[in-house]
């Protein structure tokens, strides 16, 4: 559809639907919703060209609160619904909103295949490490030993790490942010929106009712400078309140080092989000707080690759170029026919 | 090639049935297909029954690996591939032992003598060689050293022995072509297109084909040639068409007639895969085919494509449909138009993937959680698959609903002459998407028209932004709503809407008088056997009529009345009585059931004998 008239300038409020938001007070989802509404007007897209598709879970209520096109589909299937939509309509900007249970457990297969096809979708996974909507069972990202109503003696399920998984599926864009880190979150969503291909964003989201404090180490104002590391393309990996620590490669393993005492910035690992090799991004995705590392936030990887939604439509064009536009009469009469008089 | 032998006598037949059978590597499907196309081109009515082995890589020469293709061709209109076989071609002992029972007494039996050696006989369970021990005396046995003769025929083509042996099916074809007085031309053309890139293979197949034909001409043991004259079909242009191909073409036509892009989300599954493959050949019809990661994604991507505004289709078979069940619920509650095709096969579970059955009717009608009504229609023959696809899409868009189409392995793989439709005479399918709304106006995605159909608003339209989903929706506004009365109202509305489709479908037709002693009620692929059996009974003066149900939900408006006009109702089904139980519970009448669960279609004789046991 071609739009000749200049677009009206939209405000965050223009993206709010008339529905009451029904997340628990204090839920991290509110902040993500707010940042999304704040970021979307900066893209300059008409509202009607944006679609939010979700699965099932607390996060998946998201489309109801956006005054765009949307579908609250079924558990885990949002990437597949979005695939059908985007394949037919590459002109639309399509967002997939999912959670750790929806995206990684029941919908793990769709997520994996969607990412490897590099469909031009923006997938935002709200990771709260718990099943919230069903009131507190352990999820695929719950840590080992996590005691919940369905794991009273502690979870014995080895957790999945969403970004490691995405990178393993050859994701072309992988990022992480935190619900309360609003500037960072908004900038990360924008980067995802601008990426051509599947953009996968994990957001640390607090479920203050069933798993309060799961990300406290990464959110707490006093500790976050030590427990997180903001990635910047082309810059060395430095963190700490006084920016006095860094990540250095020791063989194939990262290690935390203190700057000074003979170690300079040049000795550190430099971030390269455009590296065609995903190994660095994967290594970053494996840095965990529990292992004594700061957890990277920001864009891990952003590379260009062919998009499924573009290529499938190009094949149609190519086929038309080679064979001409499909003609039923010619098709029906192709090959051997005979006449009865 | 000049022949010195005088021409042999030609006997005229009304019809004949031939079956090619051999190892799955023997090219029997190809032989059958060529024979079918040739017969159709000659003007015969034809009906075919390809029978695939259950195991794709069964060891060579074993019974599990036997593949068959049966062709019934006639100078009259026919509806089935034939109960018994007039001529059987058996390429090895395993094929002979598994197929011989269907050869009529006195029938022609052509065997590849070279395959009847110790190992092959052992694999088939023969202790003595049947072509020598007199056990085949009641047939017109022709034991032909096909392997040896084929090798001789292709000697000069420079093929390896293995490649040379692969030409055997062309030798067998040539022989049968001579036997039934068919032209070699269509097959020679086929060889040219198919093997054009490998001239030595094309040459070898041509030589083998001609050698088989000349063998028939010259060898004294085969004394008569048979001729089946063209059938008197309604005038028009005809072609041979296979069911799965017809349904794919019907989808292409429906997309054109409604001016839509066609999207198919599918996962490979026997026997539905050929639909996905066929559509892939026609991307230039603006066709997007998405081979999904699983059946669930096939279904849900289809929902996404429907939301996008495309003509959206998925095709599968029973186990795949089971996986689609949750998605179908979403399709029903979002009231988006799409077509869901089930090419039924033997179940439950993986069941009999390559064999036919009609046991997914209950699944189509009831196989979802909640009150989840879907219209269900069924194709009756290979060619009818074309029309059913168009009709399904018409229903889907007119009533904003997913529509179930049932076919089965038998009609999906079977073929028949198909009268090529005149494109300009096909009915247009008009779709109205609501246009943009001005600021301040509100859009109600669940407001309904007189058909109870809601608007199909597609993304990209300003002012119509709305959210669909699996949670119960409030009437008119479409907002999430947990109100108990609203839920009941919406369940009733959805049911009423599907029931209302009866307003748009033709009244039920009968083959035979409007009342009588017995109504034979059939649906789907059992059509041919039932129609033929009823014609037989009618010719004997019995008061029997035939009702072929195309619309299984909702039923045509006059259907209930038809049922009351007959003393008895016989329902033959390839299941354990699924339509029968719906008929009984819906219309509170008794039915007589004829059920078969052998992975094979009904024979005409089975239905005739059942009719005879009911009406003297
Ligand atoms: S249960 Fe947890 S995740 Fe769900 S809305 Fe409440 S706080 Fe948020």
Q: What was the ipTM of the complex prediction?
A: 0.97
Q: Which CATH number fits domain B239-425: 3.40.50.970, 3.90.1150.10, 3.30.70.260, 3.20.20.20?
A: 3.40.50.970
Domain residue extents for chain A: 12-214+303-312
Residues of chain B within CATH 3.40.50.920 domain(s) are 516-614
- The CA distance from B301 to B292, in Å, is 8
Q: What pLDDT sits at residue B1?
A: 45
- For residue B335, the Cα-to-chain-centroid distance in whole angstroms is 29
Instruction: Report the 10 Å Cβ neighbour count for B224.
Output: 11
Ligand 1 centroid to residue A131 C-alpha, Å:
9
Residues of chain B within CATH 3.40.50.970 domain(s) are 239-425
Mean pLDDT (whole number) for A33-37: 97
3-state secondary structure of B230: coil
Mean pLDDT (whole number) for A280-301: 97
Mean pLDDT (whole number) for B28-55: 91
- For residue A192, the Cα-to-chain-centroid distance in whole angstroms is 8
CATH 3.40.50.970 for domain A12-214+303-312 = yes
The CA dihedral of A18, A20, A23, A24, to the nearest 10 degrees, is 150
pTM over 0.80: yes
Contact B142, B110 (CB under 8 A): yes
Judged against a pLDDT cut of 90, whether residue B341 lies above it is answered with yes
CB-CB: which of A73, A113, A323 is closest to B300?
Answer: A73
Selection from A123, A124, A165 nearest residue A141 by Cα: A165
Q: What pLDDT sits at residue B5?
A: 62
Number of cross-chain residue pairs from A and B with Cβ atoms under 8 Å apart = 211
Q: Do residue B459 and residue A51 have CB atoms under 8 angstroms apart?
A: yes
What band does B58 get if pLDDT is binned at 50, 70 and 90? confident
Percent of chain B predicted with pLDDT > 90: 93
Buried b / exposed e along B302-311 (16+ C-beta atoms within 10 A): bbbbbbbbbb
Q: Do residue A48 and residue B464 have CB atoms under 8 angstroms apart?
A: yes
Q: Which one-letter DSSP state was computed for residue B428?
A: P
Q: Which one-letter DSSP state was computed for residue B601?
A: P
- The CA distance from A246 to A265, in Å, is 8
Mean pLDDT (whole number) for A94-104: 97
Average pLDDT, chain B: 95
Interacting residues of A45 by C-beta distance below 8 A, sequence separation 6+: A7, A93
Residues of chain B within CATH 3.40.920.10 domain(s) are 10-228
Cα B481 to Cα A67, B484, B486: the distances in Å are 18, 9, 7
Q: What pLDDT sits at residue B4?
A: 54
Mean pLDDT (whole number) for A7-33: 91
Pocket probe for ligand 1: among A28, A56, A57, A58, the residue whose CB has the most ligand atoms within 8 Å is A58
Judged against a pLDDT cut of 50, whether residue A2 lies above it is answered with no
Judged against a pLDDT cut of 80, whether residue B7 lies above it is answered with no
Selection from B254, B241, B160, B175 nearest residue B208 by Cα: B175
Q: Does B329 touch chain A (CB under 8 A)?
A: yes
Question: Which position has the token pair 């023969």?
Answer: B126
Name which CATH class applies to B516-614: alpha beta
What band does A5 get if pLDDT is binned at 50, 70 and 90? low
Q: Which one-letter DSSP state was computed for residue B476?
A: B
Ligand 1, atom 3: closest residue by C-alpha: A207
Beta pairing class for A245-250 and A238-239: antiparallel
Judged against a pLDDT cut of 60, whether residue A1 lies above it is answered with no
Q: Where are the alpha helices (DSSP H) in B337-481?
A: 361-366, 384-399, 409-413
Judged against a pLDDT cut of 90, whether residue B439 lies above it is answered with no
Q: What pLDDT sits at residue B223?
A: 84
> How long, in residues, is chain B?
616
End-to-end Cα distance, chain A: 49
Pocket probe for ligand 1: among A64, A129, A209, the residue whose CB has the most ligand atoms within 8 Å is A209
Selection from A117, A110, A81 nearest residue B338 by Cα: A81
Percent of chain B predicted with pLDDT > 70: 99
Q: Do residue B423 and residue A338 have CB atoms under 8 angstroms apart?
A: no
Enumerate residues 15 to 74 of chain A having a beta carbon within 8 A of any beta carbon in chain B. 17, 19, 46-49, 51, 53, 56, 63-64, 66-74
Give B134: exposed, middle or buried? Use CB within 10 Å, 0-12, 13-18, 19+: exposed
Q: B137 preceded by cis ω (within 30°)?
A: no
Beta strands across the sheet bearing A337-340: A337-340, B236-242, B415-419
Ligand 1 centroid to residue A267 C-alpha, Å:
43
CB-CB: which of B288, B296, B465 is closest to A80?
Answer: B296
Average pLDDT, chain A: 96
- The neighbouring-strand residues paired with A250 are A253
Phi/psi for B569 (5° steps) reads: -125, 120
3-state secondary structure B298-364: HHHHHHHHHHHCCEEEEEECHHHHHHHHHHHHHHHHHCCCEEEEEEECECCCCCECCCCCCCCHHHH
Q: Which residue of B has its CA nearest to A315?
A: B283
| CATH code for the structural domain at B10-228 | 3.40.920.10
The whole-angstrom distance between A218's CA and the closest CA on chain B is 34
Q: Do residue B327 and residue A77 have CB atoms under 8 angstroms apart?
A: yes
Q: What pLDDT sits at residue B2?
A: 46
């Amino acid at each position: 559809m071609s739009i000749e008239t200049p677009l009206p300038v939209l405000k965050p409020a223009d993206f709010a639907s008339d529905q009451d938001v029904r997340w628990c007070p204090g839920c991290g989802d509110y902040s993500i919703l707010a940042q999304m509404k704040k970021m979307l007007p900066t893209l300059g897209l008409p509202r009607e060209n944006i679609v939010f598709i979700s699965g099932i879970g607390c996060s998946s209520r998201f489309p109801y609160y956006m005054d765009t096109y949307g579908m609250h589909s079924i558990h885990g299937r949002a990437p597949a619904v979005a695939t059908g939509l985007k394949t037919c309509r590459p002109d639309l900007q399509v967002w997939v909103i999912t959670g750790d249970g929806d995206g990684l457990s029941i919908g793990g297969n769709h997520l994996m295949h969607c990412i490897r096809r590099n469909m031009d979708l923006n997938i935002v996974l709200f990771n709260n490490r718990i099943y919230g909507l069903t009131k507190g069972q352990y999820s695929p990202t719950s840590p080992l030993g996590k005691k919940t109503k369905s794991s009273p003696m502690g979870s014995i399920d080895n957790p999945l790490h969403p970004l490691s998984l995405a990178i393993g599926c050859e994701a072309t864009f992988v990022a992480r942010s935190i619900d309360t880190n609003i500037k960072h979150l908004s900038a990360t969503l924008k980067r995802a929106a601008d990426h051509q291909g599947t953009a996968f964003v994990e957001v640390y989201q607090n479920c203050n009712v069933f798993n309060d404090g799961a990300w406290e180490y990464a959110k707490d104002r006093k500790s976050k400078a030590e427990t997180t590391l903001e990635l910047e393309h082309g810059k060395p990996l430095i963190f700490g309140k006084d920016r006095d620590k860094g990540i250095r490669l020791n063989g194939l393993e990262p290690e935390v080092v203190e700057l000074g005492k003979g170690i300079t910035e040049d000795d550190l690992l430099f971030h390269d989000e455009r590296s065609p090799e995903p190994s660095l991004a994967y290594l970053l995705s494996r840095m965990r707080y529990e292992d004594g590392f700061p957890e990277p936030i920001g864009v891990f990887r952003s590379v260009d690759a062919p998009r499924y939604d573009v290529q499938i439509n190009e094949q149609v064009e190519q086929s038309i170029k080679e064979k001409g536009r499909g003609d039923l009469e010619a098709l029906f009469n192709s090959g051997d026919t005979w006449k009865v008089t | 090639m000049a022949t010195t032998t005088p021409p042999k006598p030609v006997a005229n037949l009304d019809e004949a049935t031939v079956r090619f059978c051999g190892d799955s590597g023997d090219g029997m499907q190809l032989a059958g297909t060529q024979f079918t196309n040739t017969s159709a081109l000659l003007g015969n009515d034809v009906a075919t029954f390809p029978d695939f082995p259950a195991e794709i890589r069964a060891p060579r020469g074993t019974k599990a690996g036997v593949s068959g293709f049966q062709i019934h061709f006639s100078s009259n209109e026919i509806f089935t591939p034939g109960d018994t076989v007039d001529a059987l071609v058996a390429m090895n002992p395993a094929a002979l032992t598994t197929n011989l029972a269907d050869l009529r007494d006195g029938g022609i039996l052509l065997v590849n003598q070279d395959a009847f050696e110790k190992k092959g006989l052992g694999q088939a369970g023969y202790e003595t060689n049947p072509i020598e021990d007199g056990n085949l005396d009641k047939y017109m046995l022709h034991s032909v050293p096909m392997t040896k003769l084929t090798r001789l025929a292709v000697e000069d083509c420079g093929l390896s022995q293995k490649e040379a042996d692969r030409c055997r099916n062309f030798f067998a074809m040539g022989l049968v072509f001579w036997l039934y007085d068919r032209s070699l031309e269509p097959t020679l053309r086929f060889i040219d297109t198919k093997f054009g890139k490998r001239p030595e293979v094309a040459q070898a197949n041509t030589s083998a084909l001609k050698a088989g034909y000349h063998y028939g001409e010259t060898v004294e043991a085969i004394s008569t040639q048979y001729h089946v004259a063209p059938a008197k079909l309604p005038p028009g242009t005809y072609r041979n068409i296979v069911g799965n191909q017809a349904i794919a073409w019907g989808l292409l036509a429906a997309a054109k007639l409604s001016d839509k892009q066609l999207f198919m989300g599918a996962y490979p599954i026997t026997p539905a895969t050929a639909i996905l493959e066929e559509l892939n050949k026609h991307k230039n019809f603006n066709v997007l085919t998405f081979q999904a990661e699983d059946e669930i994604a096939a279904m849900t991507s289809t929902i996404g494509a429907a939301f996008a505004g495309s003509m959206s289709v998925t095709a599968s078979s029973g186990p795949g449909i089971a996986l689609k069940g949750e998605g179908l619920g979403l399709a029903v509650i979002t009231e988006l138009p799409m077509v869901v095709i089930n090419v039924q096969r033997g179940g439950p579970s993986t069941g009999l993937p390559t064999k036919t059955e009609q046991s997914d009717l209950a699944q189509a009608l009831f196989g979802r959680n909640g009150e989840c009504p879907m219209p269900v229609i069924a194709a009756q023959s290979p060619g009818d698959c074309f029309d059913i696809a168009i009709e399904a899409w018409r229903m889907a868009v007119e009533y904003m609903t997913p529509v179930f189409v049932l076919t089965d392995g038998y009609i999906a793989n079977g073929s028949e002459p198909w009268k090529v439709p005149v494109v300009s005479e096909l009915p247009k399918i008009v779709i109205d998407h609501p246009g943009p709304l001005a600021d301040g106006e509100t859009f109600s995605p669940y407001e309904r028209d007189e058909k109870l159909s809601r608007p199909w608003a597609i993304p990209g339209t300003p002012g119509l932004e709305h959210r669909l989903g699996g949670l119960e929706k409030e009437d008119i506004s479409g907002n999430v709503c947990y109100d108990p009365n609203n839920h009941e109202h919406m369940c009733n509305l959805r049911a009423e809407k599907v029931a209302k489709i009866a307003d748009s479908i033709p009244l039920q037709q009968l083959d035979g008088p409007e009342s009588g002693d017995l109504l034979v009620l059939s649906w789907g692929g059992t059509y041919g056997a039932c129609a033929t059996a009823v014609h037989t009974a009618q010719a004997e003066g019995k008061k029997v009529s035939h009702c072929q149900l195309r619309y299984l939900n909702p039923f045509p408006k006059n259907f209930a009345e038809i049922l009351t006009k007959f003393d008895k109702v016989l329902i033959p089904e390839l299941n354990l009585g699924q339509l029968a139980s719906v008929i009984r519970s819906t219309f509170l009448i008794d039915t007589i059931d004829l059920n078969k669960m052998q992975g094979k279609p009904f024979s005409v004789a089975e239905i005739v004998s059942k009719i005879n046991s009911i009406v003297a």
